[in-house]
Amino acid sequence: MRILSCVLLTLVAAVLVASTSVAAEITDVTGRKVEIELPAKRILLGEARQIHVAAALKGKHVFDTIVGWRDDLIKKDPDSYDGYRERFPAIEKLPRFGYIPSGDFSLEAAIALKPDVLTLNLEAQQAIEESGFIDRAAAAGIAVVYLDFRVDPAKNSERSVEILGQIFGAEARAKEFIEYRRAQIAVVTERLAKAGAIARPKVFIERSPGITGEFACCRTFGPANFGEMVEKAGGHNVGSDVITATFGDLNPEQLVVANPDHVIVTGSNWSAESDVNQFVSVGRGADPDAARERLKGLMQRPAFAALDAVKAGRVHAVWHQFYGAPYEFVPIQQFAKWFHPALFADIDPDRTFREFHEKFQPIAYRPGYFVSLSDGGE
């Protein structure tokens, strides 16, 4: 009886500790200091794709404290949404809202959910603050915290993971996540450093072709985000020669002159938003044959036919959503295999991402995040 009483007391104490929030201060990625009770008990995700991080931190309990989220996951990445819905069927009823800078967000509806905190992406900061949203949210008792996995991931991703660790009461797990991410990136960067001076192939990485505009070309990346991943993988991002911001455009003539050694396009299942349906659908559980056919079709555009990369079949697709989640260790490993196949012959990014899911994610892994035109390119 005495042992049973001790066990019960221990359990009660654990529950009390877990349910206790304390006043704290978070410094978000903009440097704003935000007062908040931690861990937060009612969380509103200003971008639903932040679930890729939250789930890695909270596992099967990830939706215990989320009271609503933006509608971007179901629109822009429905394959991932289906993965979470299979594991957590109740999320079909989780309240959704639109994008604040687009005017699709109802603060009144958000207030009704009584959230402690709203997590927003950095790229929305200017529009949000010019609208006076921060003050109105604060008046309703909602703390606003900015995160960034997209504009400057090298600077802000680890801090953003730490912030979500604080908000969800999973700081130790956030540290594990960060250490795993660093180690997997180092698999590539340390080997490249030991290899010394190697030829860096020129790489053009095109952002989301085939969503809209039949022959639109060529949205790309500057030195951050996918541009930085290319460089870390031992390539040279040709977009960085022209663009200084995270995102920008080359014109077709600039692409022809650059004549890259590899072409990579970003793709996802954008069937809910596309007006031309020529995008390459890669991602969780994607059909590689269907994706490859779409990739072939995109290379029929006039600017691409003359490129050495296209003639040699060094054409690839990568899951677009890597650009907004701190999973860049996966594309960095895949890019390194594409750019330097002999040096990275033993690296298996599919195995890495599967292992990551087994260690951190509450949903099952399904391959499909890459495709190449050349045989064995994936």
CB 236 within 8 A of CB 202: yes
- Terminus-to-terminus CA distance in the chain, angstroms? 60
What's the pLDDT at 217?
83
Closest CA to 264 of 200, 221, 324, 302: 221
Residues 6+ apart with CB under 8 A from 341: none
What's the pLDDT at 16?
44
Distance between CA 247 and CA 242 in Å, rounded?
11
What's the pLDDT at 375?
60
What's the pLDDT at 110?
87
220 phi-psi bin (left φ>0, alpha ψ -120 to 50, beta other): beta
What's the pLDDT at 121?
94
**Domains in the chain, start-ordered, CATH in brackets?**
23-169 (3.40.50.1980), 199-372 (3.40.50.1980)
What's the pLDDT at 187?
98
DSSP string for 195-211: H-S----EEEEESSTTS
What's the pTM value of the predicted model, to 2 decimals?
Answer: 0.91
What's the pLDDT at 19?
54
What's the pLDDT at 14?
46
Residues 6+ apart with CB under 8 A from 47: 69, 70, 72, 119, 120, 121, 324
Alpha-carbon distance values, 352 to 56, 355, 367 (Å): 15, 5, 11
Beta bridge partners of 145: 119
What's the pLDDT at 338?
98
Query: Which residue numbers in the chain have pLDDT < 70?
Result: 1-19, 214-215, 375-378
DSSP string for 130-173: HTTHHHHHHHTT-EEEEE-SSSSHHHHHHHHHHHHHHHTT-HHH
Residue range 49-83, pLDDT digits in tens: 999 999 999 999 999 999 999 999 999 999 999 99
